[in-house]
Amino acid sequence: MSENKEFVRPSWDEYFMDITKVVATRSTCIRRQIGAVIVKDQRLLSSGYNGAPSGLPHCGQIGCVRAANQVPSGERQELCRGLHAEQSAVVQAAMYGVPICGATIYSTHQPCSACTKILINAGIKRIVYQYSYPDKLAEQLIAEAGIEYVCFG
């Protein structure tokens, strides 16, 4: 008979944050690889990484206007054809009719203000990220919306 073994298991936050890093490896952004997963009741509901819309040529293939013009990080995001990881994760949930109201989003990076607006309206109640990506407006909106904001690790 096997003895009763005590397993060392990651916390839920560690577990889902680790998954975001695997998701990020699919990113096609030539500047920064970002991954996000949406979780409710410890169930993974959706995932997304940053890159061009599905099936379209990505920045690595046809070039990125932001990279070509050396646009500073965080500025003029509308110039790039890519979606952000958080946007892709919310869209994936919508595409398959998965309710994400009240869920947590884990992201490798702190969400920008554009993603933050979407996350608020999607009903996300908790945001967990690892790497900081300072955005004053995003932080202000999150504070106003009363969303739990966790910098992990």
- In the annotation, is 86 catalytic? yes
73 CB-near residues (< 8 Å, 6+ apart): 31, 32, 133
Distances (CA, A) of 80 to 30, 49, 51, 68, 73: 11, 15, 9, 11, 12
Q: Which of 78, 86, 139, 148 is catalytic?
A: 86
Residue 38 beta carbon to Zn ion: minimum distance, rounded to whole angstroms: 14
On whether the CB atoms of residues 68 and 108 are closer than 8 A, the answer is no
Rounded CA-CA distance 88/38 in Å is 11
Counting contacts by CB under 5 A, is residue 122 touching Zn ion?
no
Of 6-14, 58-66, 100-108, 125-133, the window that binds Zn ion (rule: CB under 5 A) is 58-66
Residue 96 beta carbon to Zn ion: minimum distance, rounded to whole angstroms: 21
On whether the CB atoms of residues 33 and 58 are closer than 8 A, the answer is no
Residue 50 beta carbon to Zn ion: minimum distance, rounded to whole angstroms: 8
Nearer to Zn ion by C-beta: 80 or 122?
Answer: 80
Burial level of 6, CB count in 10 A (0-12/13-18/19+)?
exposed
Counting contacts by CB under 5 A, is residue 112 touching Zn ion?
yes
Counting contacts by CB under 5 A, is residue 84 touching Zn ion?
yes
Nearer to Zn ion by C-beta: 16 or 111?
Answer: 111
Q: Which residues are catalytic?
A: 86
Q: Which residues would be at the binding site for Zn ion (CB under 5 A)? A: 59, 64, 80, 82, 84, 112, 115
